[in-house]
Structure 1
Amino acid sequence: MSPYTFEFEGDTVREWTLTDTGAESRLVTDYQPSLYVSGPDDALSDLRVRLESDPKLVATRYERLATDLHEAHAGDRSRVLRADLERVGEARTLAREIRGVYEREAYAPGTFRLFDVDLSPGFRYCLDRGIDPTPGRDLRTLSIELSEPALGDGDVSAVRVEGEPIGSAETDAVDVLRTLEDRLERDDPDILVVSHADLIPLLDERATERGLERFCLGRLPGLTRLAGENSYESYGRVGHSSARYRVPGRAIVDESNSFLWHQSGLAGLEYMIEKTGRPLQEAAWGSIGTLLTSRQIRLARDREVLAPWNKWVPERFTDVRTLHAADRGGFTFAPEVGFHEDVHEIDFASLYPRIICEHNVSPETVDCGCRDESSVDTGEATDALGGDGRRVPELGYRICGDDGFLPDVLEPLLEDRAARKRRLAADPSEEEAARLRGESGAIKWVLVACFGYQGYRNATFGRIECHEAINAYAREIALEAKRRLEDAGWRIVHGIVDSLWVTPRVDEPTPIGEVAAEVSDAVGIELERDGHYEWVCFVPRRDSAARMSAPEGTGKSSSGSTTAESAPAGALTKYFGKRVDGGYKIRGLECRQRNTSAFVAESQREFVEVLDREREPAAVCDALDRRLGELRTGSVDPRDLVVTNRVSKPLEAYDRRTRSAAALERYESKGLERSPGQSVRYVVVDDDTTGAERVRLPFEEPTAYDREWYATAVVRACESVVSPFGWDRRRIRSTRQDGQTVSLTTFHTDCCSDIPVRPPSGSRSHRN
Structure 2
Amino acid sequence: MEIIVNATGSDYINLWYLSGNKITKRQIKNHSWIFVSGNYYDMSMLERSLDFSNLVYEHTKMRDIYGYLDGIKIFMRPSQINYIAKKIENSFGYKIKIYNADINPVLRFMALNRLSFFKIRSLYDYDPDIKTAEIYAFIKNNDVSYITINGKKYEKNIYEELYNAIDDGLIIIYNNYYGEFSILLNNMFKHGYAIEYKTHRARSFESYGRHSYMPKTISINNKICIDSNSFIFQESGITGIVELSRLSLLPPETVSVVTPGTVVSSIEEKEALQRKILIPFRKTDYEKPKTPGEFFEADSGGIVFTPDPGIYKNVYEIDFSSMYPSIMVNYNLSPENLSSAGMGHLAMFLRRLLETRLFYKGIRERSDIYMKRDMALKSLLLNSFGYTGYKNAKFGRIDVHEKITSIGRSIIMNSIRIAEKNGFNFIHGVVDSMWIYGDGDIQKTINEIYERTRIPIVIDSHYKWIAFLPKNNGIGSANSYIGYKYDGTFKVRGIEMRRKNIPEFIKKFQENALNEIKCDFEQISFRREKIDKIKRYYLNKISSFKVDDFKIKFTISRHINEYKVRNGTYYLMKYLDGHINIYPGMSVDGIIIDKRHGIIRPDAENIDRDYYKRMLIRSFKPIDFILLNSGK
| TM-score, structure 1 as length reference | 0.75
Matched to 1:143, the amino acid is: E
- Give the secondary structure class of the aligned counterpart of 1:315: coil
Identity %: 23
Q: Does 1:494 align with 2:491?
A: no
**What aligned pairs does 1:135-154 form with structure 2 within 5 A after superposition?**
137-147=128-138, 149-150=139-140, 153=142
User: Which structure dedicates a bigger proportion of its chain to strand?
Assistant: 2
Shift of 1:583: 1.0
Q: Is the 8 A contact 1:5 1:280 kept in 2?
A: yes
Distance in structure 2 (CA, Å) of the matches to 1:601 and 1:53: 70
Contact 1:18 1:135 in 2 (8 A): no
Alignment length, in residue pairs? 618
Kept in 2, the 8 Å contact 1:63–1:82? The answer is no
Residues 32 and 204 from structure 1, CA distance in 2 versus in 1: closer, same or farther, beyond 3 angstroms?
farther
Secondary structure of the residue aligned to 1:332 is: coil
Among 299, 302, 309, the alignment partner of 1:330 is 302
- In the other structure, the counterpart of 2:417 is 483
The gaps in structure 1 that reach 5 residues or longer are 104-108, 169-174, 217-221, 369-399, 546-567, 726-741, 749-768
In the other structure, the counterpart of 1:422 is: 362
Secondary structure, counterpart of 2:94 in structure 1: coil
The answer to whether the 8 A contact 1:660-1:680 is kept is no
Shift of 1:58: 5.3
Aligned ranges for residues 496-511 of structure 1 at < 5 Å?
Answer: 496-504=430-438, 509-511=439-441
Query: Alpha carbon RMSD of aligned pairs, Å?
Result: 2.8
For residue 204 of structure 1, report the CA deviation from its aligned partner. 4.5
Partner of 2:572: 663
Q: Which residue of 2 aligns with 1:532?
A: 462
Structure 1 position 180 matched with structure 2 position 90: no
- Structure 2 Cα separation of the partners of residues 61 and 202 of structure 1: 52
The equivalent residue for 2:507 is 601
- Please state how far the C-alpha of 1:538 moved relative to its aligned partner: 1.1
What is the match of residue 219 of structure 1? none
- Inter-CA distance 139–79: structure 2 relative to 1 (3 Å threshold): same
- Please state whether the residue corresponding to 2:620 is helix, strand or coil: helix
Describe the shift of the 1:98–1:25 C-alpha distance in structure 2 as closer, same or farther (beyond 3 A): same
Match of 1:590 among 490, 493, 496: 496
Residue 100 of structure 2: which of 102, 106, 116 is its match? 116
The answer to whether residue 616 in structure 2 is matched with residue 676 in structure 1 is no
The alpha-carbon deviation at position 27 of structure 1 amounts to 3.5
Decide whether the 8 Å contact of 2:385 with 2:401 is kept in 1: yes
User: Which residue in 2 is equivalent to 1:521?
Assistant: 451
Q: Deviations 1:196-217 (Å, cap 9, x if unpaired)? A: 27456545533444444xx32x
Deviations, residues 604-630 of structure 1 (Å, cap 9, x unaligned): 233444556643897556543332222
The TM-score, its normalising length taken from structure 2, stands at: 0.90
Partners in 2 of 1:133 and 1:424 — Cα distance? 22
Q: Which amino acid aligns with 1:270?
A: V
SS of match in other structure, 2:66: helix
2:85 alignment counterpart: 95
From 612, 626, 631, the counterpart of 1:710: 612
1:20-419 aligned at under 5 Å gives the runs 20-28=20-28, 30-50=29-49, 59-66=56-63, 68-71=64-67, 76-85=68-77, 88=79, 90-100=80-90, 102-103=91-92, 109-134=93-118, 137-147=128-138, 149-150=139-140, 153=142, 155-156=143-144, 158-168=146-156, 175-185=157-167, 188-196=168-176, 198=179, 201-212=182-193, 215-216=194-195, 222-225=196-199, 227-256=200-229, 258-318=230-290, 322-368=294-340, 400=341, 402-419=342-359
Larger Rg: 1
Deviations, residues 401-454 of structure 1 (Å, cap 9, x unaligned):
x432233233323333333333345xx4xxxx1101011111111122222221
Distance 1:44 1:283, change over 3 A: same
8 A Cα contact 2:591 2:601, kept in partner = yes
- Decide whether aligned partners of structure 1 residues 646 and 60 sit closer, same or farther in structure 2, where only a CA change above 3 A counts: farther
For the Cα contact (< 8 Å) 2:170–2:223, is it kept in 1?
yes
Cα deviation per residue 1:728-753 (whole Å; 9 max; x = unaligned)?
xxxxxxxxxxxxxx7844xx5xxxxx
Distance in 2 between residues matched to 1:47 and 1:156, nearest whole Å: 59
> What's the offset of the Cα at 1:638?
1.3
Pair 1:616–1:714, CA change in 2 (3 A): farther
**1:252-306 CA deviation, whole Å, 9 max, x = no partner?**
10112x1111111222222212211111111222221111111100001123222
The match for 1:646 among 555, 567, 571 is 555
Deviation, structure 1 residue 118? 3.2
How far is 1:158 from its partner?
A: 2.6
Q: How does 1:465-480 map to 2 (within 5 A)?
A: 465-480=399-414
1:17 correspondence with 2:6: no
- Contact kept in structure 2, 1:330 and 1:497, CA below 8 Å: yes
Q: Is contact 1:364–1:404 with CA below 8 Å preserved after alignment?
A: yes
Which residue pairs with 1:628 in the alignment? 539
Contact 2:137 2:181 survives alignment (8 Å): no
1:48 deviation in Å? 4.5
Q: Secondary structure at the match of 2:9?
A: strand
Judging changes above 3 Å, is the alpha-carbon distance between structure 1 residues 520 and 59 closer, same or farther for their aligned structure 2 residues?
Answer: same
C-alpha distance in structure 1 between counterparts of 2:219 and 2:258, whole Å: 15
- 1:194, distance to aligned residue in structure 2 (A): 0.8
Partner AA of 1:145 in structure 2: Y
Structure 2 stretches lacking a partner, 5+ long? 121-127
